């Protein structure tokens, strides 16, 4: 898999030649989309189940990332799972991510299934210039929302080291810490953030904040090159962190104290 960002929007009509999957490629191009479909599909099913479950999301100092920040856990004014109150933030950020767009357009919409593989004949191709896909442009705004969630998740990770009897380290503390580190790397490697730092500029040294922006842009470039890696690692870590808290909370697993 290679991270080449989102499919480009085209406004002109394009006529596809050949049916779905027709190509002159001779390699096993479909191998690339199978793990994406399994991983993204599996995560989607698990996350949906957990978001609606509404229990087993906290134990001791641990809080599942699917439920953070925790709003109205006592159900004073919201009858349903607290996770549903905050779902739109992380879901919107992931769903509009340039890398994930490429991944799920290929794996689930087969549009196209891979580079140089036909998605089938059609009259016109409008890319992301019309509803609903034009909403993908909201990604830059979801980035700001993601930073708010990161702040809460860092707070949760720090709190996971403070047990009723004082400072300590449990396996869950390390799981939540690893998760927020990976989520931070995923967010800092975002294409929109890189653009925010260094985009819309022809000359770094010609503006007052140019040198600062240049330094930020150079630093973010290194992370941005690994965005796909961080996207997958953080997706898996969120799922595993929630699973760990769920199992400990449900009494299916005993948290091991290391300190
Ligand atoms: Fe993937 Fe922004 S491009 S999080």
pLDDT at 125 over 80: no
24 part of a folded domain? no
191 C-beta closer than 6 A to ligand 1: yes
Domain-embedded: residue 86: yes
Angle, alpha carbons 197-234-153 (nearest 5°): 80
Whether the CB-CB separation of 210 and 199 falls below 8 Å is answered with no
Residue 7 covered by a domain? no
Q: Is the CB of 230 under 6 A from ligand 1?
A: no
- The answer to whether residue 117 sits within a structural domain is yes
In a domain, 169, yes or no: yes
Of the ranges 4-8, 69-73, 189-193, which one carries the lowest mean pLDDT score? 4-8
Averaged pLDDT for residues 181-202:
95
pLDDT at 122 over 80: no
Ligand 1 near 99 CB (within 6 A): yes
Specify the 3-state DSSP secondary structure of 72.
coil
Interatomic CA distance for residues 211 and 44, integer angstroms: 42
Report the mean per-residue pLDDT for the chain: 92
ipTM greater than cut 0.90? yes
Reference 192, options 138, 130, 128; nearest CA is 138
Cβ(184)–Cβ(243) below 8 Å: no
Asked if residue 216 lies in contact with residue 193, where contact means CB atoms within 8 angstroms, the answer is: no
CA of 99 to the centre of ligand 1 (A): 6
Atom number in ligand 1 closest to CA 93:
4
In angstroms, rounded to a whole number, what is the distance separating the alpha carbons of residues 116 and 131?
A: 25
- Domain that residue 239 falls in: 29-189+226-249
| 196-208 per-position pLDDT tens digit | 999 988 889 888 8
Q: For residue 43, which of 85, 103, 98 has the smallest C-alpha distance? A: 103
Q: What pLDDT sits at residue 121?
A: 72
pLDDT, average across residues 57-77: 97
Which atom of ligand 1 is found nearest the CA of 146?
Answer: 4
Residue 211 lies in a domain: no
Identify the pLDDT of residue 100.
Answer: 98
Flag whether 136 is in a domain.
yes
Ligand 1 atom closest to 94 (CA): 4
What per-residue confidence (pLDDT) applies to 17?
A: 59
Measured between alpha carbons, how far is 115 from 102 in angstroms, rounded to an integer? 11
Q: Is 207 helix (H, G, I), strand (E, B) or coil?
A: coil
Q: Is 89 within the bounds of a domain?
A: yes
Count of domains observed in the chain:
1
């Amino acid at each position: 898999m290679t991270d080449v960002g989102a499919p480009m929007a085209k406004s002109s009509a394009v006529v596809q030649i050949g049916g779905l999957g027709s190509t002159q490629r001779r390699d096993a191009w479909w191998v690339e989309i199978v793990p994406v479909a399994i991983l993204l599909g599996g995560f989607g099913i698990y996350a949906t189940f957990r978001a609606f479950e509404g229990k087993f999301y906290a134990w001791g100092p641990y809080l599942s990332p699917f439920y953070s920040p925790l709003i109205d856990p006592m159900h004073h004014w919201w009858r349903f799972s607290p996770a549903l109150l905050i779902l739109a933030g992380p879901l919107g950020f992931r769903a509009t991510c340039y890398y994930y767009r490429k991944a799920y357009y290929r794996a689930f919409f087969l549009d196209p299934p891979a580079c140089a593989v036909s998605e089938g004949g059609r009259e016109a191709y409008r890319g992301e210039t019309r509803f609903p896909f034009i909403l993908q442009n909201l990604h830059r705004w979801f980035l700001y929302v993601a930073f708010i969630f990161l702040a809460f998740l860092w707070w949760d990770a720090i709190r996971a080291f403070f047990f009723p009897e004082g400072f300590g380290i449990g396996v869950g503390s390390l799981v939540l810490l690893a998760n927020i580190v990976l989520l931070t790397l995923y967010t800092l490697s975002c294409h929109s953030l890189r653009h925010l730092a260094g985009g819309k500029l022809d000359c770094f040294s010609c503006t007052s904040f140019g040198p600062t922006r240049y330094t930020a842009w150079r630093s973010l470039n290194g992370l941005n090159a690994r965005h796909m890696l961080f996207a997958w690692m953080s997706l898996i870590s969120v799922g595993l962190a929630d699973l760990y808290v769920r199992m400990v909370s449900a009494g299916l697993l005993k948290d091991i104290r290391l300190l």
